[in-house]
Structure 1
C-alpha cells in the first residue's frame, strides 16, 4: 500500500466517522450537564421545601426525587436527539416495548408505585422511628424507589418501597404519647402497699410522667421468688426511654433505702428426715 492510498483511506475514515465522533462528544456533554443539573436542582428543591414549615419533610424529599428523575429523563431524550432519534420515535419505541420493559422492571415499577402510596397515605414520615417487617430505625429519606432507615447505632438500611408497603409497619412515633410499662419484683415478706407507694411517689416526682391518663399500679403476679408490681405510666413519645431508664434506677435505689428487697431466683432444698 502506497502512502497515497494510506492517506486516502485515512481521509475516508475521517469523513465517515467524524460526524459520529462529534455527535458522541455532544451527547457526552449533554449527559454530563443533565446529570449535574439533576443533582443540583434536586438538592436546591429539597432545601427550599424543607425550609417551609408547612411542608412535611417527607414531601420535600419525594418531590426532589421526582424532579431529579424527570430532568434525567429529559436528558436521555436530548442525548438520543443528538443521534437523530426524535422524541416521537422514542415514544413509539417505548410504546412497542412496554410489555417487555414491564416484565423486566416489574420490581422497580412496584417500588415506584409503592413510593407514591407511602407518600399518599403516610404510614411513616421522615424523622419517625419505625419497624418494617422486623427492621427498625429512624426514617432518613423516602424517594421514588427506596426508604432509607438509620438504626440507633447509625447503620444505614435501604428498604425497597415495594417491600415496605407490602409488609407490617410498626410506627413508634406516630402518636404523641406512649405508655411505659415497668415491672418490679419484691420479696414475699415485704409490704406490697408500701412498695407501690414508693413507685407512685417517684412517678409523681418525675415531671415527664403525665397525669392524664393517670399512672396505674397493681400487683400483677406471684412469681416463683417474687411478688411482681407493674407500673403503667404515660409519657411523651420522645421521653419514653429516658423515663424508663431513670425510673428503673430510681426505684432500685429507693427500695434499697426503704429496706424493700428485690429477690433473685433461688431454690429451697428440703431434706427428708431419715427413718
Structure 2
C-alpha cells in the first residue's frame, strides 16, 4: 500500500513534463517536415527557373538557395513558438543582441552580402571554368553563402562568397574564343623559315584554328641552346586543350620528318693546347 503514493507521486511528476514532451515531439515533427519541404520547394524553384532557356542557370541556383533558407527560418520561428517564444519576442532578443550577433556572424553576413553581389554582377556562371584567387575549377553551384567548384580531377572545392568577391577572378569561359600559345625550340643549324612554314601549314590544315585572327608564328627568342619559335593560334574556347595537345604532337612529328631537331640543354667543352 505504501507503493501507491510513490507511484502516484511519480505520475504527477511526469505529468508536469507532459506539455514539454508533447511540444518537443511537435517541434521534431515540424523540423523534419520543414526540412523536407525546404528541399522539395528549392528543387522545384530550381527546375522551374532553369526550364526557361533565356534565364541563366546561376539565377536558378541562387533563387533555390533563397527559398530554402527562408523556409528554414520560418520553421525555426514555428518551433520557437511551440515553446512559448513568440516572433516578436525573438525579434526583440535579436535586437538586444545585435552587436554580439553581428560580431559572431560577421563572416557569414559578409558571405551573404557577397553572394548578392556575385549574382548581381555575375562575373561567372554555372558551368564556366574559372580561377578564383588561385583556385581553379568549373562552377557547380552558387548559393547564398558559398561557391562550389569542381576541379578537372573531380575534387570539390568550397569557396566562401566573401573570399570569392574579394579575390581576383579569371574566367576562362567568358569569351567564345581563346588564344593558344605554343613555343617550339629548334637547333641553331636548322632553317627557321622552314620550321615556321611547317607550323603554319599544320595550323591551316586544322579546322579548329580560326582564320581571323590570322595564325601568328615568329622567332621570339635566341636561347642558350635553341632558337625559340612562338605560334599564336585562335580557336573556340571549348577546343583550347585539344588543339594545344594536338598541335604539340603534330609539330614534333613534322619536325622529325623534315629533319628539324628540337635541342635539349647541353654544354660545349673547349680544350686549349698548353
1:163 counterpart residue number: 163
TM-score of the pair, normalised by structure 2? 0.97
Q: Does 1:64 align with 2:64?
A: yes
Query: 1:8, CA displacement in angstroms?
Result: 2.7
Q: Could you tell me which residue of structure 1 aligns to residue 144 of structure 2?
A: 144
Q: Secondary structure at the match of 1:181?
A: strand
Matched, 1:194 2:194: yes
Q: CA deviation at 1:133?
A: 1.3
* Equivalent residue runs for 1:1-275 within 5 Å: 2-274=2-274
- Secondary structure at the aligned position of 2:234 is classed as strand
Give the TM-score taking structure 1 as reference length. Answer: 0.96
Distance 1:2 1:113 in 2: 67
Shift of 1:42: 1.1
How much does 1:206 deviate? Answer: 0.6
Give me the whole-angstrom Cα distance separating, in 2, the residues matched to 1:53 and 1:226.
52
Instruction: Give the secondary structure class of the aligned counterpart of 1:219.
Output: strand
Question: Within 1, Cα distance between the matches of 2:191 and 2:66?
Answer: 64
Quick check: 89-98 or 76-85, which moved more? Answer: 89-98
CA distance in 2 between counterparts of 1:135 and 1:2 reads 74
| Displacement of 1:116 | 0.7
Distance 2:22 2:269 in 1: 94
Q: Secondary structure at the match of 1:170?
A: strand
Separation of aligned partners in 2, 1:159 and 1:131: 11
Residues 68-105 of structure 1: per-residue CA shift (max 9 Å, x gap): 00000000111111112222222222222222111111
Runs of 5+ consecutive residues of structure 1 not aligned to the other structure: none
Give the SS at the match of 2:184.
strand
Structure 1 residue 15: deviation in Å? 2.5
In structure 1, C-alpha distance between the alignment counterparts of 2:70 and 2:148, rounded to whole Å:
21
Moved over 4 A (4+): none
Provide the rounded CA distance (Å) in 2 between the counterparts of 1:226 and 1:85: 79
Offset of 1:166 from its aligned partner?
Answer: 1.1
Q: CA deviation at 1:169?
A: 1.2
Structure 2 alignment gaps of length 5 or more: none
